[in-house]
Amino acid sequence: MQSLRNIYWLGTKELRSFFRDGVLLGLVIYSFSLAIIAQAQSNSQEVHNASIAYVDEDHSELSARLARAFLPPFFQPARAVAQKDVDRLMDVGAYTFILDIPPHFERDLVGGRRPELQINVDATAMVQAGIGSAYAEQILSDEIAKFLSRQDEPPPAPIGQVVRIAFNPNVVTSWFASVMGVISSTTMLAIILAGAAVVREREHGTVEHLLVMPVTPFEIAMAKIWANSLIIVGAVGLSLLFVVERLLRVPIEGSIPLFLVGALLYLFFATSIGVFLATIARTMPQLGLLYILVAVPLNLLSGANTPLESMPPWLRTIMEASPSTHFVAIAQAILYRGAGFDLVWPRFVATGAIGGIFLALALWRFRAVSTQSRS
Amino acid sequence: MRGEPAVRLRHLRHAYGRTRALDGLSLDIPAGCMVGLVGPDGVGKSTLLGLIAGAKALQDGGIEVLGGDIGAAAWRDEICPRIAFMPQGLGKNLYPDLTVEENIVFFSRLFGQSRAEGAARVAALTRDVGLAPFVKRACHQLSGGMKQKLGLCCALIHDPDLLILDEPTTGVDPLSRRQFWELVERMRRRAIREMSVVVATAYMEEAEKFDFLIVMNAGKILATGAPKDILARTGAASVEEAFVALLPEGGLAKKLEIPPRSDDGGAPVIVARGLTKRFGDFVAVDQVDLAIRRGEIFGFVGSNGCGKTTTMKMLTGLLDASAGEALLFGRSIEAGGLAARRRVGYMSQGFSLYSELTVLQNLELHGRLFGFPSREARDRIETLLDRFELKNHGDVLAAGLPLGLRQRLSLAVALVHKPDLLILDEPTSGVDPVARDAFWALLIELSRKEGVTIFISTHFMNEAARCDRISLMDSGKILATGTPSELTRLKNGKDLEEAFIAFLEEAGAARPLAETAPTPVQQPAPAKNPRFSPRRMMAYTIREILELSRDPIRLSYAIFGPALLLLVLGFGITTDVDSLTYAALDRDNSYFSRAYLSELRGSAYFIEQKPIADAKDLVSRLKGGDVSATIEIPPGFGRDILRRRPTEVSVWIDGAMPFRAETIHGYLQSMHQQFLADPAIHGLPPAPDPPADIETRFRYNQSFDSIYAMVPGAIALQLALIPAILMALAIVREKELGSITNLYVTPVTRLEFLLGKQLPYIILAFVDFLIMFLMALYIFKVPLKGGFGVLALGSLVYAAASTGYGMVVSAFTRTQIAALFGTAILTILPASMFSGLSTPASAITGMGRIMGRLFPMTYYLPISVGAFTKGLHFADLAGYVAILALFFPALVAVSFLLLRKQER
């Protein structure tokens, strides 16, 4: 009983300390507001404002129509360039797409001679090049079909394919990026908050003070874990309600409380990692350096930024074991697809179990270090 | 004393926020003698010395130093080589990882001395101060006294006319203290020109030997004059008494009465037998035996680092003993467990309460942790607040308390749970004599009235004299134990201090200063102070490299961090979409529907999951993320095809990750076209040929494999992030640890400082580039299709730009942790979002475009991707290299303008 009370009171102390630390408080506010908005507006996952140019060697009505067919927001207005400049412009990355309309294109087309139209794509601009070239092909063939339909009505396709995108019908990046931003802020902050809380006590000598009292290292570490988890869960909830739903107008399908329960499970893992790192680092800067090495991969490889399926198998196997991966899956399932507990519980169990192992590890290290701390 | 004063103060005021540190000082400080500035901590001594040395910017009033206005930058530059300043704190302006010799050579370079001159001076100085045998020892391994001698060497490297020492002997044992003053005196006598010395000290007894005293309290001067004049004026026997008498509320303080202790003859409360602590090879505590009785005030006396704190920590159970045993209340600490801890109150060295909590919150927290019921705790806290006169400060943050009050709060906290034993580690360092007496009055009351055993460590001899018994400690060993008068008598000393010195000498710690031949007269340093000196710049470069080579964590991070991240990110971040899961709901189950689905099955991109049962299953499988796409084939699909009736396949794609959804969409469309064109479908007319062929040429990367774009991109990202962070840390470290003072008070210029520190990090970043380049070639198998020359040159210029970026960030931050996060946040966002890594730079709009344009990576990315994947050479990329080259001077210029040559 006294042990629980100690954990409670030490935790309230953590909360007070946190709200007095300007740097960390600022970091949390930034990460859950401005950083989310910046990511939501990045358009990095869609074709947006792509730069395109064309070489018109035909100078026909059709070639002019083709050049005008590329419209915002997907494309910038196409610019005319000379044939001889194409290579140089591609080399310096001035345009991602350059369309080449050959001489006599319209005449050959009308004459049924199947002329060839070429799109040069800078294949080093991965996302935009991949999706954008499909868009460009579609735009060009539609435009050609429209041009020809004056003379020849194409027969309706006998077998159609109706494609609908579930959960995000217009494939808007901000829907995806904002929630994933919340997830990555959660990982990044939970680790550093818990880690910094431990190192701060050590640097200020207060942890010694606690250890000569009837307080165990277990209680100290648990207090840090619950208090910092609570701070982040609060920040996540507020960020989802106000930044994601209100400000960015992203519709949230599922239950936010259910998601927050998942977040709490995940936070036990993330804060444990923080405590663990703090037992390795001697000083705050060392903690920061270690933290970047651990948190950046944990975050970038969780499936929030890039699909897990495409990683090499060895890396994928490792990341499948990471609670950050489960947490991303939980977030996508609940927040986008409106999944209920019946669908996500296996992920909850996995997160809790792996989190529990790390919690035990962190507590064990913390106890070992605390009883043998040199100054 | 001659006519012209060394320093002249006129109406000098200085404030930190609302706190007045100096309150209208006007004074002439005489030249050519030893001037002592005395007063307790926090009265403005350090501020005054910092202002005189030119380390702090003047706020109000005037100071003339060596005949000119120190407020004028031109005069500061001119006399800087004639002043030496040793800041407060043991070895504060020294570099702990450097050896004795390297430290002195560093200062020699800062003063522009040639290698030969520097070497000669190092040899002479180390011999003079007795450090010659230790020149190869790292500074952090030196004892406090040796550190201060080293500090003195560094200060005297350029034969200053004015030597300013800020509490050079605080925390140093009496013998080293005595030696230090002898040394200063000797150096002064030996100096080529006449040397004035201004010294601040908290040891009032030291001040009696100086030529001229300035007694300060609360930002004001209480008295000035020769020590004997001041004593005569106040009628006091010592400077300490004189100080108390000079206070506005002063009058000679009443002597602290210590009633005799009545021994109850019980078992000792603390027993240590053969207690030993080793850290590696270093023996911190060596065979300590103690027996402390109930109600006794037991003193532990010795210099910093002699093992007092370690012994106390072993007694409290914070450290395990390497050998021997420690018993509290007759039991070992572990056996006593939590119950024993309830009987102990501990006050660690330095303030160790929560400075972010208020006085009341601190007390309450401790009450709770000792499990007091809230009513009882409240009563107890009331009593303590009353007794320690903290009532009016209950809601003040502990951080905002003056030192004396903080110490009282610490003691109150240690007493919350009514302990039987108090272990106090240097509780009174930095507290003024009046507050110290009040503190002692409390201790005496606790001991005599309540029978609390008190084990206290101190380096003030007059406090030691108040204890019932003391142990004198040095280098981990107890030299002697007994009552103060016994010990004094044993050595026939005048007082306890002399007795202690005698014990130290006997123990061999004392190495009498070898009388050396006077230092051969050196050529005085050239008076001219060049605007830019490569030698001074290199002083910082060499030092940075030495430090880095001795900090394994920072060094390995610098070298392997980028490589490790590249490994993970290069493999992990990919925009290739494959191994997609899908499931089918075939409501037709005809030849045609099976043919349609087999098109998908044959695709390398898709992995089939078990078929969908019904519409409800379809929704839940999509929701749970089990499949990324579903294909639903309507009933009568095959029949409709045969009858040439229109029919539709319905596809749902999981839109949770937009670009993956788009890619799946593209795959499924082309799969559909393939089905339509498949000649295997009998009886259908062939699909009409398209009217025109649209050929998409994926240039530079025919296979459209993201690794060829991602690895060069990830290299650019690593080179943006880690060099910037390391650079920012390197500069802020100096601010946080205090060695930035050397920039303020030596002739080194801001530009020399910045470039000198940057150079090693540019080299490191370039090494990182080479490592990552080889990893790209051999681990990721990304070939270099273009020119290596332009890539290497671009990387070098880029390294200069990224480190410059970190340098600018460091100008805004004060602590290392803030520098770390500031740099990370300000780098990661533009690097990953706005510089072309995910979206081509040409497509970014708005704020992002501006941020991207101002970020060096935007111009390096085309070089990296161009040289690796696009097969470009110097002629193609010269434009980007040229823009990148502009960042370095621009960023250095900004940092230069933001960095101050004086502390605020």
pLDDT tens for B27-83 read 898 888 899 998 777 778 888 999 999 888 888 888 998 888 888 888 888 888 889
B878 close to A (CB below 8 A): no
Determine whether the interchain pair A13/B365 forms a contact, defined as Cβ–Cβ distance below 8 Å: yes
Q: Does residue A375 fall inside a structural domain?
A: no
Map residue B9 onto helix, strand or coil.
strand
The number of domains in chain B is: 5
Residue ending a domain, among B246, B278, B300, is B246
Q: Does residue B855 fall inside a structural domain?
A: yes
Strands B453-458 and A52-56: unpaired
**Are B438 and B493 part of one and the same domain?**
yes
The pLDDT of residue A156 is above 60: no
Per the structure, the complete domain to which residue B383 belongs is given by: 353-418
Q: DSSP string covering B66-101, please? A: TTEETTSHHHHHHHGGGEEEE-SSTTTTS-TTSBHH
Cross-chain CB nearest to B870 (options A91, A161, A343): A91
Residue ending a domain, among B197, B213, B246, is B246
B contacts of A155 (beta carbons < 8 Å): 688
Q: Does residue B253 fall inside a structural domain?
A: no
Q: Does residue A85 fall inside a structural domain?
A: yes
* B216: exposed, middle or buried (Cβ count in 10 Å: 0-12, 13-18, 19+): buried
Amino acid at B701: N
**Are B330 and B424 part of one and the same domain?**
yes
Q: Chain A to chain B, count of Cβ pairs less than 8 Å apart?
A: 405
B contacts of A344 (beta carbons < 8 Å): 624
Q: Does residue B391 fall inside a structural domain?
A: yes
* pLDDT at residue B478, as a whole number: 87
The pLDDT of residue A227 is above 90: yes
Q: How far apart are CA B129 and CA B108, in angstroms?
A: 17
pLDDT tens-digit map of A161-214 = 888 888 887 778 788 888 888 998 898 889 988 998 888 888 777 887 888 888
Amino acid at A258: L
Q: How far apart are CA A153 and CA A145, in angstroms?
A: 9
Long-range contacts of residues B16-24, Cβ cutoff 8 Å, at least 24 apart: B20/B219, B21/B47, B21/B219, B22/B47, B22/B48, B22/B51, B22/B219, B23/B218, B23/B219, B23/B220, B24/B61, B24/B220
A contacts of B710 (beta carbons < 8 Å): 126
The CATH number covering residue A71 comes to 3.40.1710.10
Tokens standing for residue B670: 């082309």
**Are A225 and A338 part of one and the same domain?**
yes
**Are A194 and A343 part of one and the same domain?**
yes
* pLDDT at residue B542, as a whole number: 94
**Are B584 and B658 part of one and the same domain?**
yes
A contacts of B694 (beta carbons < 8 Å): 116-119, 137, 140-141
**Are B118 and B184 part of one and the same domain?**
yes
**Are A83 and A218 part of one and the same domain?**
no
Determine whether the interchain pair B688/A48 forms a contact, defined as Cβ–Cβ distance below 8 Å: no
Report, as an integer, the average pLDDT of A299-323. 82
* pLDDT at residue B521, as a whole number: 46
A contacts of B653 (beta carbons < 8 Å): 163-166
B contacts of A30 (beta carbons < 8 Å): 825
Tokens standing for residue B865: 């991707």
**Are A125 and A254 part of one and the same domain?**
no
**Are A290 and A199 part of one and the same domain?**
yes
**Are A255 and A326 part of one and the same domain?**
yes
Determine whether the interchain pair A289/B658 forms a contact, defined as Cβ–Cβ distance below 8 Å: no
The CATH number covering residue B323 comes to 3.40.50.300
* pLDDT at residue B1, as a whole number: 42
State how far residue A309 is from chain B, nearest Cα, in angstroms.
6
Determine whether the interchain pair B656/A168 forms a contact, defined as Cβ–Cβ distance below 8 Å: yes
Determine whether the interchain pair B649/A162 forms a contact, defined as Cβ–Cβ distance below 8 Å: yes
Nearest CA in chain B to A72: B843
Q: Does residue B142 fall inside a structural domain?
A: yes
Nearest CA in chain A to B721: A292
Block residue for tokens 């964590």: B553
B contacts of A209 (beta carbons < 8 Å): 346, 348, 352-353
B contacts of A300 (beta carbons < 8 Å): 568-569, 572-573
**Are B214 and B300 part of one and the same domain?**
no
B322 close to A (CB below 8 A): no
Q: Whole-model pTM?
A: 0.83
**Are A190 and A127 part of one and the same domain?**
no
pLDDT tens-digit map of A20-45 = 877 778 888 988 998 888 888 776 66
State how far residue A350 is from chain B, nearest Cα, in angstroms.
15
Determine whether the interchain pair B666/A134 forms a contact, defined as Cβ–Cβ distance below 8 Å: yes
B10, B26 in Cβ contact below 8 A? yes
B contacts of A312 (beta carbons < 8 Å): 571
**Which residues have C-beta within 8 Å of that of residue B822, sequence separation ≥ 6?**
B728, B809, B812, B813
Q: Does residue A346 fall inside a structural domain?
A: yes
A contacts of B634 (beta carbons < 8 Å): none
Determine whether the interchain pair B571/A311 forms a contact, defined as Cβ–Cβ distance below 8 Å: yes
**Are A32 and A97 part of one and the same domain?**
no
Q: Does residue A157 fall inside a structural domain?
A: no
The number of domains in chain A is: 2
- pLDDT classification of A374: cutoffs 50, 70, 90: very low
Per the structure, the complete domain to which residue A59 belongs is given by: 52-148
**Are B544 and B635 part of one and the same domain?**
no
**Are B312 and B423 part of one and the same domain?**
yes
Determine whether the interchain pair B843/A124 forms a contact, defined as Cβ–Cβ distance below 8 Å: no
Cross-chain CB nearest to B696 (options A51, A133, A156): A133
- pLDDT classification of A373: cutoffs 50, 70, 90: very low
**Are B17 and B71 part of one and the same domain?**
yes
The pLDDT of residue A159 is above 90: no
State how far residue A128 is from chain B, nearest Cα, in angstroms.
7
| Interface with chain A: mutation pick from B279, B372, B568, highest number of A CBs within 10 Å | B568
Residue ending a domain, among B366, B383, B418, is B418
Cis peptide before B611 (omega within 30 of 0): no
Chain B residues 806-825 with CB within 8 Å of chain A:
815-818, 820-821, 824-825
**Are A187 and A247 part of one and the same domain?**
yes
Q: Does residue A316 fall inside a structural domain?
A: yes
Q: Does residue A340 fall inside a structural domain?
A: yes
* Nearest CA-CA partner of B460 in B300, B352, B345: B300
* pLDDT at residue B684, as a whole number: 61
* pLDDT at residue B510, as a whole number: 46
Q: How far apart are the first and last CA of chain B?
A: 33
**Are A198 and A337 part of one and the same domain?**
yes
pLDDT beneath 70, residues of chain B = 1-3, 249-255, 263-265, 304, 336, 430, 508-528, 679-689
* pLDDT at residue A155, as a whole number: 53
B contacts of A301 (beta carbons < 8 Å): 568-569, 572-573
State how far residue B793 is from chain A, nearest Cα, in angstroms.
17
Cross-chain CB nearest to A159 (options B369, B647, B865): B647
**Are B740 and B831 part of one and the same domain?**
yes
Chain B residues 577-596 with CB within 8 Å of chain A:
577-581
Strands B7-16 and B60-65: antiparallel
**Are A119 and A23 part of one and the same domain?**
no
Q: Does residue A339 fall inside a structural domain?
A: yes
Q: Does residue B520 fall inside a structural domain?
A: no
B373 close to A (CB below 8 A): no
Block residue for tokens 């929701």: B623
| Interface with chain B: mutation pick from A70, A163, A374, highest number of B CBs within 10 Å | A163
A324, A187 in Cβ contact below 8 A? yes
B354 close to A (CB below 8 A): yes
Q: How far apart are CA B855 and CA B834, in angstroms?
A: 8
**Are A185 and A303 part of one and the same domain?**
yes
The pLDDT of residue A229 is above 50: yes
Cα-flanking dihedrals φ and ψ of residue B130, to 5°? 85, 20
B452, B295 in Cβ contact below 8 A? yes
* pLDDT at residue A171, as a whole number: 77
